[in-house]
Amino acid sequence: MRLIFLFTLMTFQLYAQQSVVEGVVKDTEGHVLSFVTVSLKHSKNATITNTDGYFKLSKLPLGEQTLLFSAVGFQSIEQKVLVGNSPKKLDVQLTSSTKELNEVVVKATAQTKVQETKALSIKSIEIKDVINQTVLLTDVLDKISGVRIRRSSSLGEASDISINGLRGNAIRVYIDGIPMEFMYPSFDISNLPLGNIKRVDVYKGVLPVDVGSDALGGGINIITEQKAYNTLKASYNIASFNTHLSDVNLGLANKNNYFLNASLGYNYSDNSYKMRALVYETNKYEQVKRFHDTYRFLYGSLTLGTHSKAWADEFRVSLNLSGGDKEMQNGARITNTAIGEAKYTAKNLSAVLKYEKSFLNEKIWLRTLGNFTKQSLRFVDTTTNVYSWSGSIVGKNQAGEYSLGNSINYNEGITNRTSIEYRINEKHKLLLSNLYAKQKLTGTDYLNENGEIDYLTIPQYLTKNIGGLQYEGLFGEKITLSGAVKKYDYILDGAENNTFLLVKKKGNFWGWNAGLKYNFNENTFLRASFEKGFLIPLFYQFVGNGGDILRNTDLSPESSDNLNIGLSSNHQIGENIRLSTSLSGFYRQQYNIIYLGSSVFRRYENADQVRTLGGEGDISLWYKKAINLKANLTLLSKTFTAVLDSRNSYLIGTAFPNYPTTFGNVELSWQKSNFLNQKNQIRFYTFYNYIGAFNHILVAANNSPSTTPDAYVPVQHRVDLGCSYKLSKQNLTLSFNIQNLLNAELYDNFLVPKAGINFNGKIIYEINNF
């Protein structure tokens, strides 16, 4: 790999110089036009304009070139431009067309649509399309079919992610292809500010080798956005329970293709919503206000880079600083007493380097992304006080409310993902990718006394290397095939936490996957994929988190057989209606499941074999580009198929605990451009979420919500309502949202109550190309 990298750097001068053309596309009345296709004639080099009509076409040969501009409802045009070493600015005007829709040829597609029509099952979302009604990234994901996002209580707590029957750490989260557990070991996906996120890809099954690692059968890749033009975007959100979320993103660029991006984000919440709990003094269930649950998070990022150079298509270096704290209020479950003093504090430094270059007229692509992370996590739980849910101290106990401790953990890690793509021809390509990651954990136990060995001071190391080779080919015009083999290696090097004996555990194994897509026509396709996947336990699953999660170095990797099959269709019905539908089925057979025990003193353990069968459906209906109806429904069955302990044989055929089996969403929205003012836009929406009853603890086959209601989370109905208004002239967008409009009783993991009716308002200011 290293030789290939050096070779490509030495030979870049052999290839032709390239440059950039950028500009704005408007109609004859001066209104900017979004989603206009801009392409280089006789090539695949293409892009689309953003919501401000701005486009940038990179990697253009020097000299006179011809650009094509096309959009639905407008006459396509060709425009010649002289491309030089410095970026060329171009203003383009399109004339409205009376041609029929099917006469307009669109030569490029939005990246989200490109992703969603691959052989692998992917749902792709542009953040700019949902940011007005969304507070957190997890809110975006939770509305996707087959996806559930839950926390163990309030804002700032870790998110439990499930996709088509797989949950928790079987679902990996990536940031630009780097696993989040290496970049931000103790931070949650909900901490990430939306301001510098461009797109989110949700993989429901197989992940490509240049994104995936040891995810079992699903993953989330967050694609960040580094603007290569001048831009300023700021947002501020205020919500119930003294919640404030804000971020500022600045992008600066010059004519020599150098750019700087700076981001700053801040989150805060008291999480002081009301919930039903047993009050110690009265021994009765009452409505109480959550206390000692404050969450704060601060994030800063600085990126320097360049693009469209002879030596690099893109090169950038980023420095990220973040930190925060979270007061603990409850553990995995709501118990009879509250937690009044235990607290986490975390700090993180992350440095990222990205390099990308194409060779041999874009026949070979080299991409490498490196990351260094250093993080500290402080956990304090030493009080002898016992707190009631009323907030009062009602007694004394041995020190520690949750897990006695006063410690700090230091997590250092390096990560590199390098990928080489070889395009054999227009229809066939090979992709070689390798992910290497190494983490080191040390710490200090401040409660250690009498000269005893401090276990936290013994360095713990976890090394992973996951390499893959993938092929993708188009046969004829209808069949797309993909296949990959992956090699997994890991080494755990540390010590056992009771005996302090040195532990060295290693393993290696092979996995594979395959995908098939068949196009019936340009509007309808069938796809299927299968994967034999493996999940290497995360670092903290092996050694704990220094606080409420204990160590278990005996964990074994989890494996799963995953099958997905689905049918998708997208049709234009007349001039005014567009209908998109999809129907999918999935099968999962999991072995040695890694799960977090639900007792007060928790550790990760291996469970028995579990099988999941399910299906999901999506529908989206557009009428005159003004009214949009979206709905999805997921049905699944997740049951034990084998047990490790014969004493648990009664579980075979019973439902796996704490996993929703029926859930769905419906959203109806109306939007109108040129509202009150020619450039203003308004949008209203209403959203409904349904979750059927499911058992949150182990139950026997004959149990049901009617026979043992305390073992089940009841049916949940949630209704949201909101509106947004974009004032184009002022570069402002205002939005207001009501969540849980009907004040319904909602629940997170293990029957933990969620907030009742709550409100949030957001203001966004954005200016580009200043």
In the chain, the domains with their CATH numbers are 2-108 (2.60.40.1120), 112-768 (2.40.170.20)
Query: What's residue 703's pLDDT?
Result: 86
Distance CA 685, CA 670 (A): 6
At 37-93, the pLDDT tens digits run: 888 887 767 888 877 788 888 878 877 888 989 886 678 888 888 888 778 888 899
At 650-706, the pLDDT tens digits run: 778 888 888 899 999 999 999 998 888 777 999 999 999 999 999 998 888 888 899
The set of residues, in sequence order, having a beta carbon less than 8 Å from that of 496 and lying 6+ positions away, is: 502, 503, 553
Q: Nearest-CA neighbor of 487 among 422, 436, 440, 529? A: 436
What are the tokens at 324? 């925060």
Q: Report the predicted TM-score, pTM, of the whole model to 2 decimal places.
A: 0.82
Distance CA 105, CA 384 (A): 72
Would residue 301 be called left, alpha or beta, if left means φ above 0 and alpha means ψ between -120 and 50 degrees? beta
Strands (E), 426-478: 428-445, 460-475
CA atoms within 13 A on the CB side of 344: 27
> 228: how many CB neighbours lie within 10 A of its CB?
24
Distance CA 236, CA 724 (A): 14
Stretches where the chain sits below pLDDT 50 are: 1-17, 98-109
Residue written as tokens 């509305």?
143
Task: Supply the DSSP string of 185-241, one letter for each residue.
Answer: TT--GGGS-GGGEEEEEEESS---TTT-SS-SS-EEEEEE---SS-EEEEEEEEETT
User: Which of helix, strand or coil describes residue 637?
Assistant: strand
User: Which of helix, strand or coil describes residue 5?
Assistant: helix
In DSSP terms, which residues pair with 258 in a beta bridge? 306
Task: Supply the DSSP string of 328-364, one letter for each residue.
Answer: ----SS--SSB--S-EEEEEEEEEEEEEEEEETTTTE
H or E stretch covering 61: strand 54-61
The answer to whether residues 182 and 465 touch, using CB atoms and an 8 Å cutoff, is no
Strand 18-27 to 88-94 pairing: parallel
